[in-house]
Structure 1
Amino acid sequence: MNVLLENGDNRLEASATSLAVTGQVDFDGAAALAAAGRAWLADRPRGASVTFDLCGVDRVSSAAISVLLEWTRQVRARGLELEVVRLSRPLARLTQVAGLDTLLPVEAPADTAEV
């Protein structure tokens, strides 16, 4: 994994096919996080599959959801395929409450089948 961004409270790493976020994503760092992910997505070839892994985001944050939605828009705009979105348990609950879990290929957190 390559570190794309590390700004104290959160970290963004990338492999050949995935973006992984850890830490506490808040509105102070969300714009930089979204921009770093957009730049990585811009380098993917059209038709490539990508995965977003937010299992390491350890608190409920609408900022993290905003970043996720921005990346999802970029996937569609660039002709990529979003294979799976992995969420931490708190983020999975938030996406479920917001009704986003039915719009994204969300994988249930590993520690629970029901969120």
Structure 2
Amino acid sequence: MAGKADARIHLEGDRLFVEGSVTYGNTVEVIRAGKESIKASDVLVDLAGVAQVDSSAVSMLLEWTRTAQVHGRKIEFVNLPGNLADLIELYDVGNMVPVRCPEKSVC
């Protein structure tokens, strides 16, 4: 998917890759693009390719988590950019976002 502000999503196996920017200008489109994969099967969302975020990216994580729950699917997020992790902490929603800690890391 190519969209506003250079956001891309693609699925490889059970891993959903998000790349580019996830900001107010494209968050609705990014959420919509990822939902079908999340509804269809368990996914691991890899955010290593995300270059820029704002607070709307937190809403994406929360919406995708709700979508997975409603459809009885498992979802986990990996490789969160530091600024997105900071926003999750700032808004105190860490307990609502299933983040898989990297190996050899203390979370």
**TM-score under structure 2 normalisation?**
0.81
Where does structure 2 lack aligned partners over 5 or more consecutive residues? none
Partner of 2:12: 15
Q: Map Cα deviations across residues 2-57 of structure 1 (whole Å, 9 max, x no partner).
A: xxx1125211111221221111111221111111111222332xxxx321122222
Cα distance in 2 for residues equivalent to 1:80 and 1:21: 19
Gap runs ≥5 in structure 1: none
Contact 2:15 2:43 in 1 (8 A): yes
Pick from 50, 54, 70 the counterpart of residue 57 of structure 1: 50
1:16-31 matched pairs, under 5 angstroms: 16-31=13-28
CA contact 1:88–1:109 (8 Å) conserved in 2: no
Deviation >3 Å, runs of 4+: 107-110
Once the two structures are superposed, residues 51-95 of structure 1 have per-residue CA deviations (whole angstroms, 9 ceiling, x without a partner) of 11222222341121111111111100000112x212111111111
Q: What pairs with 1:54-93 in structure 2 (closer than 5 Å)?
A: 54-82=47-75, 84-86=76-78, 87-93=80-86
**Alignment CA distance shift 1:65-1:109 (3 Å):** farther
Q: Which amino acid aligns with 2:82?
A: R
Q: TM-score by structure 1 length?
A: 0.76
Distance 1:9 1:99, change over 3 A: same
| DSSP 3-state at the match of 1:91 | helix
The alignment status of 1:6 with 2:21, answered yes or no, reads no
Aligned amino acid, residue 54 of structure 2: S
Distance in 2 (alpha carbons) for counterparts of 1:114 and 1:42? 30
**What is the percentage of aligned positions where both structures have the same residue?**
30
C-alpha RMSD of the superposition: 2.3
